Amino acid sequence: MKTASHSEAALEETMESITPSQANVHPALRRIVLTGFMGSGKTTLGRLIAARLGWNFLDLDHYIESRTGLSVPDIFALHGEPHFRRLESTALVSALGKSNTVIALGGGTPEILTNRLLLEQTPATATIFLDAPFSVLFDRCVLQGISRPVLADPTLAELRFAQRQPVYRALAHHTIDTSAIEANEAVEAMVIALTIAPKRTR
């Protein structure tokens, strides 16, 4: 995605222009998981590809927020990151139980071994890594203005980015570089990837 973020109006417009079509992805596929660092477009593109396929969309952070009644920054502030990670793992188990669902992970979800094993072992699930350089992601996050505890210290955030890159890569069946393409191009790239590589669909 070239721009920092899609405004809600632009997103609505893009979603309205999308025709649901189940025919394009491998028929055995039941879940599509989007992974990548903060600002990589997991939520924006997740909504779009779900609309494109006529599937449900689940954003793991929002799911945790609706289950706890607390915002993610509040969970970090009140209970600490380890507690957030436990909630995240429980939410992931529940999310992976759903069919015909696009799941946007949190940027840190794959850091936890249990979560990686869950993702690797859940059948009929394709994981897509939305990649971009740290500078691009950081600028997008700043422009989005969403409170993200892990971004509070940019130097530490960049370290985490470097540590997570190999983890995202190892987990992914497909990688899409989102730094220089529009959202609708990224969606089409995902649909094509999910069509031509059914063997890599667990």
Closest CA to 127 of 178, 197, 51: 197
Distance CA 115, CA 4 (A): 28
Q: How far is the CB of 148 from ligand S3P (least distance, A)?
A: 5
Q: Is 2 annotated as a binding residue?
A: no
CB of 131 closer than 8 Å to CB of 175: yes
Q: How far is the CB of 40 from ligand S3P (least distance, A)?
A: 7
Q: Is 148 annotated as a binding residue?
A: yes
Distance CA 163, CA 123 (A): 27
If the CB atoms of residues 1 and 150 are measured against ligand S3P, the closer one turns out to be: 150
Q: Does 149 bind ligand S3P (CB under 6 A)?
A: yes
If the CB atoms of residues 32 and 106 are measured against ligand S3P, the closer one turns out to be: 106
If the CB atoms of residues 25 and 31 are measured against ligand S3P, the closer one turns out to be: 31
CB atoms within 10 A of CB 12: 11
With a CB cutoff of 8 Å and minimum separation 6, the contacts of 118 are 89, 92, 93, 96
If the CB atoms of residues 23 and 162 are measured against ligand S3P, the closer one turns out to be: 162
Which span (50-58, 102-110, 114-122, 192-200) binds ligand S3P, by CB under 6 A? 102-110
Distance CA 170, CA 102 (A): 20
Q: Does 34 bind ligand S3P (CB under 6 A)?
A: no
Closest CA to 104 of 131, 122, 127: 127
Tell me the site size for ligand S3P, rule CB under 6 A.
10
For the chain, strand residue ranges (E) read 31-35, 56-59, 101-104, 125-131, 174-177
Q: Does 200 bind ligand S3P (CB under 6 A)?
A: no
Question: Considering only residues 42, 47, 140, 174, which one is a binding residue for ligand S3P as defined by CB under 6 A?
Answer: 42
Query: Which residues are registered as beta bridge partners of 125?
Result: 31
Which span (90-98, 104-112, 180-188, 191-199) binds ligand S3P, by CB under 6 A? 104-112
- Looking only at the bridges linking them, the beta strands covering 125-131 and 31-35 are parallel
Q: Does 137 bind ligand S3P (CB under 6 A)?
A: no
Q: Does 108 bind ligand S3P (CB under 6 A)?
A: yes
Q: Is 42 annotated as a binding residue?
A: yes
Q: Which residues carry a binding-site annotation for Mg(2+)?
A: 43
Residues at the contact surface with ligand S3P, assessed by CB under 6 A: 38, 42, 61, 72, 106-108, 148-150
